[in-house]
Amino acid sequence: MNTQDISVAKGTHLAVQAAHARNTGTELKPEWFEDIAVNRSATERRAATLTTRRTVKKEYQAAWLVKAITCIDLTTLAGDDTAGRVQRLCAKARRPVRADILEALGLADANITTGAVCVYPTMVRHAVKALQGTSIPVASVATGFPAGLTPLPQRLAEIRYAVGEGAKEIDIVINREQVLTQNWSELYDEIVQMREASGDAHLKAILATGDLNTLRNVYRASMVAMQAGADFIKTSTGKEEVNATLPVSLVMLRALRDFGEYSGQIVGFKPAGGMKTAKDAMNWLILMKEELGLPWLQPDLFRLGASSMLGDIERQLEHYVTGRYAASSRHALA
């Protein structure tokens, strides 16, 4: 690959913005969301046409895939997680693409890493140790993940534990019953307390959209979470029957955009669950670019909750460099 070809990646696509101010939230304002209606068929049509409207090929596709890597929350949330598995995952986060591929792309000195590593609270200490000397933050799920149905004091204590272990980002999960029964004040109050328990750690609110039944509920839950001070809104735990989808993501982005217009504050977005391929990464990058613009294609405002996706992205980059597809086993994660 000609190193000049990837200059677009070194420029627009790899640019990292200065950190923006955190979302301080607002008072609970039901008038911002209660009367909103969502046209499902129009939403699905818009989401479907976004990814077919244009084709990104060759060096431009390579640049966008490198950008996707920098936005991945490399994740392991398995019942059999061990310190060794977390250490291997962190090693991959430090060097997500083989050195020979980066050199061929002209990015040997670009310090490409993933956006974060996401683990359970008891694994945070291992991840923090493995990532010493890097700027890669450790994110931890909390609040009775994935169901979110433990008593509130225990959920808040879990947040404090993860922060105490060194987590810089906390992925909380909301109580879906509060959305399904439209108990907005209780949902708001709980997220406010979770935000306070997180301290300086950024708060990502997982809406578990596959459990919310309607796109209208997705919009409403998104708005309440942002009013309560969430720094990111996130689609799924990855454990629901239906996880991240483009139509749901589109509704969340419209809520995010509306919140910004009402409050003047910036909130990030994280789809998670069910995304496995480089094509999936491209689809969500296109959605972000078309709906919110280039400022949201940065890891401080956009994350992809995935692990297996990284292996396929590296495989596609090797194909671009060599013209040949490698076996998937050549790009194992951990």
Total length of the chain = 334
Q: Which residue has the tokens 């997500």?
A: 96
Nearest-angstrom CA–CA distance, 262 and 265: 8
171 is catalytic: yes
Active-site hit among 92, 270, 300, 312 = 270
80 is catalytic: no
Contact 222, 253 (CB under 8 A): no
Q: Give the closest residue to 304 by CA, choosing from 282, 288, 281, 286.
A: 281
The burial of 10, by beta-carbon neighbours within 10 Å (0-12 exposed, 13-18 middle, 19 or more buried), is given as: middle
Kindly provide the b/e burial profile for residues 293-332, where b requires at least 16 CB atoms within 10 angstroms of the residue's own CB: eeebbbbbbbbbbbbebbbbbbbbbbebbeeeeeeeeebe
Please state the φ and ψ torsions of residue 290, each to the nearest 5 degrees.
-70, -35
Active-site hit among 234, 280, 300, 312 = 234
Active-site hit among 67, 73, 171, 231 = 171
**Helix-helix angle 278-291:308-322, to 10 degrees:** 100
Kindly provide the b/e burial profile for residues 139-151, where b requires at least 16 CB atoms within 10 angstroms of the residue's own CB: bbbbbbbbebeee
Contact 287, 47 (CB under 8 A): yes
Which residues on adjacent β-strands are paired with residue 171? 141, 204
35 is catalytic: no
Contact 141, 173 (CB under 8 A): yes
Nearest-angstrom CA–CA distance, 188 and 265: 17
Catalytic residues: 171, 234, 270
